[in-house]
Amino acid sequence: MTTTQSTEVPSKTALPPATTTAVRVQNAVIKYGFIFVTVALFLYFALSEGSFRESATLLDTLRYVSVAAILGLGVTLTMAVGGMDMSVGAVAGLGVSVAAQTMVVHNQVGTVAIVAVLAAGALAGLLNALLIVVLKIPDMLATLGTMFVIQGSKLILVDGQSITPGMTLDDGTTAPGRFTDGFLRIDRGTVLGIPVSVLIFGGLTIAAWVFLARTRWGRVLYAIGANPEASRLAGIRVGAYRALAYVLSGVLASIGGLILASRIGQGDVSAGTSQLLEAVAVALVGTSVLGRGRPNVWGTALGAVLIGIITTGLTIKGLPYYTQDVVEGAVLILALVFSFTLSKRRTS
């Protein structure tokens, strides 16, 4: 008498209900945890501080973070190709000096200054592209080198001093120009009650999202960041696209410089120094939004808003400025836990 053995493939063992629930909770934390933290902090400050709820305060918060957010968008583009632009703060500071030099020293109108600043940002991006794509220097090292070169060049450009209207020049004459009223409206002006710098921040965020998420160029940037060798074998001009990302980052940083120049109204030699860390922070924080674990525009924008909420809320509560760095650092660590530690556990 012969026996037959079943050849059916055993079905996968179903997870216990408790395990399934735990997995769902973990996935929800990874996907929505950062958004929950942002909303929770906003509600906390709004309920505990009446002035925080005022529309003027909220608009000032967005205005305050607009520069870091725009620089963060540039960092996001370079992260999409697997790199990192550490020169954005220096490029923004260069924009401040170029704008002041153009209008105050050379007595040009605001439009000329805007063109000069944007051109300076594009040239800085091209320098990064040359070092990274042509000379094969690692992204972070190349952009750090560019950062120091730009900071030094900026000081040489202005002879190590801030440029202010009415200042005495090296030849003994008085600077003939000033920051024009139209230029100052870049940060100080409003449209329907909304600061122009906030509108610029919103417009650039939408444009960057469309570029990265809705165009072939954006999808190619992500593909290069995921696997540059496979992209090259697929016929993609990897070097050209990486260069594009750094040039766009330079231009975005220069736009941030325009806002800074309009905000302070002089060629401050220290302008842009503190913007690098915030720009990198918001871009890194943004990777945790919706559990994507990759650079994305809306995540960067939300990261900037969160930084603004923390800074404004703690300032209203009267906490010393140095405590804000601790809180911002803790939030960055929390976001990185969402992006890397928890997400890896979910995929393992």
Q: Which two tokens stand for residue 189?
A: 């002006």
C-alpha distances out from residue 168 to 90, 94, 110, 149, 165, Å? 26, 21, 21, 27, 9
Q: What are phi and psi of 234, to 5 degrees?
A: -80, 0
Exposed e or buried b per residue across 258-274, where buried means at least 16 C-beta atoms within 10 angstroms of its C-beta: bbbbbbbbbbbbebbee
Pair 123, 250: CB distance under 8 Å? yes
pLDDT in tens, 158-193: 777 888 888 878 777 888 889 999 999 999 999 999
In degrees, rounded to 5, the angle at the alpha carbon of residue 198 between the alpha carbons of residues 194 and 200 is 115
Counts of helices then strands in the chain (DSSP H, E)? 14, 2
pLDDT in tens, 83-103: 999 999 999 999 999 999 999
Q: Which two tokens stand for residue 146?
A: 């560019």
pLDDT in tens, 223-236: 999 999 999 999 99
In whole angstroms, what is the distance from residue 348 CA to residue 338 CA? 15
- Mean pLDDT score, 256-264: 95
Q: Which of 304, 258, 259 is nearest to 280 (CA)?
A: 304
pLDDT of residue 1: 44
Task: For the chain, give the percent of residues with pLDDT over 70.
Answer: 87
pLDDT of residue 343: 56
Counting every residue written for the chain, the total comes to 348
pLDDT of residue 285: 82
Q: Which two tokens stand for residue 158?
A: 């202005």
pLDDT of residue 5: 47
pLDDT of residue 109: 93
Q: Which of 178, 174, 165, 128 is nearest to 150 (CA)?
A: 128
Q: How confident is the model at residue 3 (pLDDT cuts 50, 70, 90)?
A: very low
In degrees, rounded to 5, the angle at the alpha carbon of residue 104 between the alpha carbons of residues 102 and 109 is 60
Q: Which of 146, 42, 139 is nearest to 94 (CA)?
A: 146
Give residue limits of the domains in the chain: 55-341
In whole angstroms, what is the distance from residue 99 CA to residue 215 CA? 33
Instruction: Identify the CATH assignment for 55-341 out of 1.20.120, 1.10.10, 2.160.20, 1.10.3470.
Output: 1.10.3470
How does DSSP classify residue 190?
E
pLDDT in tens, 284-309: 888 877 656 688 899 899 989 988 99
For residue 212, pLDDT over 60 is answered with yes
How does DSSP classify residue 14?
P
pLDDT in tens, 270-283: 888 888 888 998 89
pLDDT of residue 237: 95
Q: How confident is the model at residue 156 (pLDDT cuts 50, 70, 90)?
A: confident
C-alpha distances out from residue 164 to 101, 104, 261, 334, Å? 9, 7, 11, 42
Q: Which residues pair with 194 in a beta bridge?
A: 191
Pair 71, 273: CB distance under 8 Å? no
Summary mean pLDDT of the chain: 86
